[in-house]
Chains A and B, each alone.
Chain A
Amino acid sequence: MASTGSDFREDFSEASLKSHTVTYRVVAVAGIAVAAILFRVYVPRWISYLAYLELPLLVTIYFSLMRRSPLAGVCYGACIGLAQDSLSPDPLGMFGIVKTLVGYFAATVGQRFNVDNTGVRFTLSFFFYFFHQFFYWVLARALLAQMIGFDLPTTLIVAVLNALVAVPLFRVLDKLKVTE
């Protein structure tokens, strides 16, 4: 739930940020990433409006934010993106590039903010979803010459919905943290 004002300030203290670096089991990260991609591929077949839920992106954002390592963020983004590309009819690399950037920036942001805060998680999820969609659109037009449209109002609404899903999802994923 949302932190109070004093909690928020406390969350941003230097000592608090350093103590928030967390690790995950490789198997857990890989399993969650694969599950997210499979969800993206097969669940919308039966519940069509869930096609708007970009779970691979949310997983990338979460692990990048929590690891607070740009290098790890790049790896998460590239791997999840390329895996998603391999099940897409578009050339390999489209999702890979976009998610690599998202992973890098999310990890960089994670070094400066307390990403356990619900408001921060919501805002970052909203922002990165929008960034993901917009950058994918730019790449598709520039590199693939696909004249697809960019529906700004719809994208903003879907970004809010994804951010709303991201908050409880991140709470669930927090259970996978490995405490040292």
Chain B
Amino acid sequence: MEALFNRYRNVAALVVAIVAQLMLLAYQIKGNGEVRLIRVWAVSAVTPVARGMEASRGGVAHFFRDYFFLLNVRGDNQRLKAEVDRVRLENQFLRNELSTADRAKSLSIFQQQSPSRTVAAHVIGNTTGVGAKVVIVDRGSNSGIEKGMAVITPDGIVGKIIGVFPTASYMLLITDPTFAAGVLSQKNRVHGTVKGLGYGSVTVDYVQNEEMVDQGEWFYTSGDDRIFPKGLPVGQVTVVRTGKARKEIYVNPAGLQNGLEEVLIVVDGVHRDLPEVSAGDQPVHLLDPPPAEGGAEEAPVSSGPRLTDADRLVDRYKKIGEAQKHVYGEHGGGAPNFNLDPAASANAAAPKAPTGAASPASNAAAPQAANVATPQAASGAAAGSPAISPRQSSAVSPPQKAANAPAQAPVQSTATPDRGPTR
């Protein structure tokens, strides 16, 4: 037995080691179990080393640059750079373009301006995964970072947090094949899902061939994924073509264009509207205004309380009822004669006029109704709106309604404050 064990000792050790690790893998994959303790130890042990390496690297690099190679040039360069940065930042602040300024200052300004609450972090290393686009940032659960938080720069989104440790976190880059986020095109508001390709570019998937996406168009986060707040820039379309089932769209990720050293982790995201396409991007041809037609402009402006057709109808019926001493809703009272003109019937209220007595007024209204098809007549009718019967009002043609609009506009504008702020 001992001889047998000695003979197969090495193979047995190999099998035991492999099986143990397979079981560990199976535990993690099958049960979605996280062997968190080992990772916490490893990352916590390595993070101080990384900080030290980063500090010493920066110190050595600065030392050589400052005292050996570029003693004077460095100073001049810093001064000029500071000046350029200041000018750039001013320009940036006005135009809300943060892509070309000094990174740290841009990040700070962006952080202040952004409605979302963010935490600045420094990328301190890569992970060891083969093909994985995951980096380590120097903020962890001690800084309030949680798994699933979005990571951005002033230029756009760069990734999301996939693992959190006390002093560091794993950040999955937008270029990783397993990355996905909901996006929305700026011009045509086309929804899609941005996915990494494993190299510099990313793709926007699930866009139907029928939908319109232009080359050079910007994609922004849609907020659908509930990770990235709506309105953050994702990138600009470099290639768009019709695919077999869906459109093939390749996007240049804006957030990674200027390197990746400092990032902002969105702790509390706030959705924003997408910026409108600037007028320069969308040339619009406008004709000269049409020549003024006298009738429409000369229409007297009605003043007084705002009246709709329904208000005027109710008013007219009230007057008819008062003129004929009719109480609406009274049982057994019958119905008033709605064909009578209220003004005429008010005058003839005492000697109750026969139905035909109203005929002059209605006859007088008849030519108006006959001419109402012309804009001039329409405006005249609008000027004497109480004289328009409900039937006439309903018979107003679209040009007539258009002609009525200028006369009603001032009335509407006076009522605007009641409606609250308009968009």
Chain A residues with a Cβ under 8 A of chain B? 37-38, 40-42, 44-46, 51, 56, 70-71, 74, 77-78, 82-97, 100-101, 104, 108, 133, 136-137, 140, 143-144, 147-148
B162 in the interface, Cβ–Cβ < 8 Å?
yes
Chain A residues lying within 8 Å of B265, measured Cβ to Cβ, are none
B128→A133 contact, CB < 8 A? no
B261 shortest CB reach to chain A, Å: 10
Chain B residues lying within 8 Å of A88, measured Cβ to Cβ, are 127-129, 132
**What are 17 residue pairs bridging A and B, where the CB atoms are less than 8 Å apart in the complex?**
A41-B46, A42-B53, A42-B124, A45-B124, A45-B126, A46-B57, A56-B128, A71-B10, A74-B10, A77-B17, A83-B42, A84-B128, A93-B24, A93-B25, A96-B21, A97-B21, A104-B10
Chain A residues lying within 8 Å of B13, measured Cβ to Cβ, are 70-71, 74
B39 in the interface, Cβ–Cβ < 8 Å?
yes
Q: How far is the CA of A143 from the CA of B162 in the complex (A)?
A: 20
Chain A residues lying within 8 Å of B170, measured Cβ to Cβ, are 89
Q: How far is the CA of A48 from the CA of B45 in the complex (A)?
A: 23
Do A89 and B125 contact each other (CB < 8 Å), given the known contacts A46-B57, A70-B10, A71-B9? no
Binding site secondary structure of chain A:
helix
Partner of A45, one of B25, B41, B125: B125
Do A90 and B132 contact each other (CB < 8 Å), given the known contacts A70-B10, A100-B17? yes
B350 in the interface, Cβ–Cβ < 8 Å?
no
Contact with A along B186-202 (1 / 0, CB 8 A): 00000000000010000
Q: How far is the CA of A89 from the CA of B129 in the complex (A)?
A: 6
B42→A86 contact, CB < 8 A? yes
Q: Which of B10, B57, B123 has the most CB of A within 10 A?
A: B10
B134 in the interface, Cβ–Cβ < 8 Å?
yes
A38→B49 contact, CB < 8 A? yes
Do A140 and B162 contact each other (CB < 8 Å), given the known contacts A42-B53, A100-B18? no
Partner of A42, one of B29, B125, B172: B125
Chain B residues lying within 8 Å of A51, measured Cβ to Cβ, are 126
B149 in the interface, Cβ–Cβ < 8 Å?
no
Chain B residues lying within 8 Å of A144, measured Cβ to Cβ, are 29
Q: How far is the CA of A88 from the CA of B42 in the complex (A)?
A: 10
A18 shortest CB reach to chain B, Å: 18
Q: Which of B1-50 contact A (CB under 8 A)?
A: 9-11, 13-14, 17-18, 21-22, 24-25, 28-29, 35, 38-39, 41-43, 46, 49-50
Chain B residues lying within 8 Å of A89, measured Cβ to Cβ, are 127, 129, 132, 134, 162-163, 170, 172
B177 in the interface, Cβ–Cβ < 8 Å?
yes
B334 in the interface, Cβ–Cβ < 8 Å?
no
A92→B22 contact, CB < 8 A? no
B291 in the interface, Cβ–Cβ < 8 Å?
no
Do A78 and B17 contact each other (CB < 8 Å), given the known contacts A92-B38, A133-B130, A148-B130? yes
Chain A residues lying within 8 Å of B25, measured Cβ to Cβ, are 91-94, 97, 143
Chain B residues lying within 8 Å of A92, measured Cβ to Cβ, are 21, 24-25, 28, 35, 38-39
Q: How far is the CA of A90 from the CA of B132 in the complex (A)?
A: 9
B53→A140 contact, CB < 8 A? no
A172 shortest CB reach to chain B, Å: 21
Extra pairs beyond A86-B42, A92-B38 (15, CB < 8 Å): A38-B53, A40-B128, A41-B50, A41-B128, A42-B126, A45-B125, A70-B10, A70-B11, A74-B13, A74-B17, A78-B21, A82-B38, A87-B127, A89-B127, A93-B25
A45→B162 contact, CB < 8 A? no
Q: Which of A40, A83, A97, A143 has the most CB of B within 10 A?
A: A97
B131 in the interface, Cβ–Cβ < 8 Å?
yes
A93→B21 contact, CB < 8 A? yes
Q: Which of A40, A74, A84 has the most CB of B within 10 A?
A: A74
Chain A residues lying within 8 Å of B53, measured Cβ to Cβ, are 38, 42
